[in-house]
């Protein structure tokens, strides 16, 4: 027997039973981002590998172990995008929309990381990301948090998420801290596991968010980055916190929050939903004021975040089952040709109704079947109303409301008015 071909590990199918809830959630997200005046940008899924090496950092997990990289027919080494920030900047520099300008952008789409798949962690996953260019004050940092809060409110998950923040300071202050941290780790080398020992000189900051309980314990006594901030970064962070306080926003300063990509400076944030288990970060981001220059553009302050849509959908469904129940795909009207001769009439009427009532969903029965069979199909579609067409009396239409069983015979010319009344 021929073996079935299955989907690639870690890459999910989204079946029609799920896609409607995705559409509802995506529409809420898009509507909210638009309401802040942010504009959509659409970017390629494939970029040159050099972009990610330069942007994310050579010694990060993403670049070292997780990228899907291949050589195309021209010999170019290309990568399936693991995230959207680098591509957004590449486009900004290429099309000249960053220099001396303010931009507030969002994007949505699949990202690819070759991680070990588990619940909430996939090799192809979807993000909605936001990137702001040209604004350096902490007020925009706060707007992004306000935007997050509004998104959570619209999705009904506000009571199930919490905010952690930190500041990484400037490039210089971060380097100073790095050296202090390395000294601390050297002193405690005997406690470190192999993974941490490997990272100690290459990327010591990543040890701060180790999941190993022994390392976590050790890190409690480690020097804290907040004590090594340069003056400007300290002022920025204090203002950011002050604004959050004044707006009554609850947050926790987590001195060990460093993020997994190398491009951040100053503000970093993560939103966590504890009920999701080990993959509980639903949104992460921060400032990356040096990255545009690093990628060849002019010095441009920037900040952004991205949220993982799979994790958001899982959270919404878990904490708010009502949301799913009220957002299932059902149709309004199912059109039944009583016999084969009425099929053309049914097609014509469906089109006429779609023209007149574009806000409703109409499904026409195809493939024949007796009346009982066709009504069964209408019920399966969860139709509210069925219309039965009969060639014996061309002008007479039977309309049945499946929600209360009421049936009436009307003339063709009355159908639109009647549907408006029944469906309002």
The burial class, CB within 10 Å (0-12 / 13-18 / 19+), for 278 is: exposed
Q: Rounded distance, CA 305 to CA 29, Å?
A: 13
**What does the angle CA 30 – CA 34 – CA 38 come to, to the nearest 5 degrees?**
110
In the bound state with ligand HAM, the residue whose beta carbon lies nearer, of 204 and 304, is 304
Q: Which residue is nearest to ligand HAM (CB)?
A: 308
Q: Residue 131, annotated ligand binder?
A: yes
Phi, psi of 311 (to 5 degrees): -70, -35
CB 138 within 8 A of CB 247: no
In the bound state with ligand HAM, the residue whose beta carbon lies nearer, of 291 and 333, is 291
Nearest distance from C-beta of residue 135 to ligand HAM, angstroms: 14
Q: Residue 79, annotated ligand binder?
A: no
The residues that touch ligand HAM, with contacts defined as CB under 6 A, are: 83-85, 113, 115, 120-122, 125, 127, 129, 131, 260-261, 281-286, 304-308, 310-311
Q: Residue 264, annotated ligand binder?
A: yes
Query: For residue 302, what are its two tokens?
Result: 């920037």
In the bound state with ligand HAM, the residue whose beta carbon lies nearer, of 185 and 315, is 315
Nearest distance from C-beta of residue 222 to ligand HAM, angstroms: 22
Nearest distance from C-beta of residue 333 to ligand HAM, angstroms: 38
Collapsed DSSP state (helix, strand, coil) of residue 336: strand
- Number of C-beta neighbours around residue 136 at 10 A: 16
CB 257 within 8 A of CB 164: yes
- Residue whose entry in the numeric block shows the structure tokens 């470190």: 192
Q: Residue 113, annotated ligand binder?
A: yes
CB 289 within 8 A of CB 131: no
Q: Residue 127, annotated ligand binder?
A: yes
Q: Rounded distance, CA 99 to CA 347, Å?
A: 55
Phi, psi of 254 (to 5 degrees): -110, 105
Nearest distance from C-beta of residue 125 to ligand HAM, angstroms: 3
In the bound state with ligand HAM, the residue whose beta carbon lies nearer, of 61 and 230, is 61
Nearest distance from C-beta of residue 126 to ligand HAM, angstroms: 8
In the bound state with ligand HAM, the residue whose beta carbon lies nearer, of 156 and 260, is 260
In the bound state with ligand HAM, the residue whose beta carbon lies nearer, of 305 and 362, is 305
CB 166 within 8 A of CB 254: yes
Q: Which residues are annotated as a binding site?
A: 83-85, 113, 127, 131, 259, 263-264
Q: Which residues are annotated as a binding site for L-histidine?
A: 83-85, 113, 127, 131, 259, 263-264
């Amino acid at each position: 027997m021929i073996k079935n071909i299955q989907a690639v590990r870690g890459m999910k199918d989204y079946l029609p039973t799920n896609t409607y809830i995705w559409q509802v959630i995506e529409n809420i997200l898009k509507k909210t981002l638009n309401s802040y005046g942010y504009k959509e940008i659409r970017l390629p899924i494939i970029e040159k590998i050099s972009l990610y090496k330069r942007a994310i950092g050579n010694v990060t997990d993403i670049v070292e172990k997780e990228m899907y990289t291949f050589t195309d027919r021209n010999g170019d080494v290309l990568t399936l995008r693991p995230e959207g920030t680098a591509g957004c900047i590449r486009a900004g520099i290429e099309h000249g929309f960053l220099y001396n300008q303010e931009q507030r952008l969002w994007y949505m789409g699949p990202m690819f990381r070759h991680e070990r798949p588990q619940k909430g962690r996939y090799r192809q996953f979807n993000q909605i990301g936001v990137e702001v260019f040209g604004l350096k004050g902490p007020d925009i940092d706060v707007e992004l948090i306000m935007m997050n809060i509004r998104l959570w409110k619209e999705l009904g998950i506000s009571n199930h998420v919490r905010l952690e923040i930190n500041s990484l300071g400037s490039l210089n202050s971060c380097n100073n801290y790095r050296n202090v941290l390395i000294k601390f780790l050297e002193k405690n080398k005997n406690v470190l596991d192999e993974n941490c020992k490997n990272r100690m000189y290459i990327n010591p900051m990543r040890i701060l968010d180790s999941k190993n309980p022994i390392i976590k314990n050790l890190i409690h006594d480690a020097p804290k980055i907040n004590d090594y901030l340069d003056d400007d970064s300290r002022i920025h962070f204090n203002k950011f916190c002050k604004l959050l306080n004044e707006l009554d926003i609850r947050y926790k300063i987590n001195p060990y929050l460093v993020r997994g990509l190398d491009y951040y400076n100053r503000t970093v944030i993560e939103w966590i939903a504890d009920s999701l288990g080990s993959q509980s970060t639903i949104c992460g981001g921060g400032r990356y004021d040096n990255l545009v220059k690093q990628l060849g553009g002019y010095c441009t302050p920037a900040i952004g975040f991205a949220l993982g849509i799979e994790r958001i959908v899982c959270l919404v469904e878990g904490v708010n089952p009502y949301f799913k129940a009220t957002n299932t795909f059902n149709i309004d009207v199912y059109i039944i040709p009583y016999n084969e001769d009425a099929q053309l009439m049914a097609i014509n009427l469906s089109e006429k109704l779609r023209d007149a009532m574009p806000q409703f969903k109409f499904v026409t029965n195809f493939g024949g079947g007796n009346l009982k069979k066709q009504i069964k199909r209408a019920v399966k579609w969860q139709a509210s109303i069925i219309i039965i067409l009969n060639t014996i009396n061309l002008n007479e239409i039977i309309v049945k409301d499946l929600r209360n069983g009421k049936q009436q015979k009307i003339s063709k010319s009355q159908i639109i008015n009647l549907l408006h009344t029944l469906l309002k």
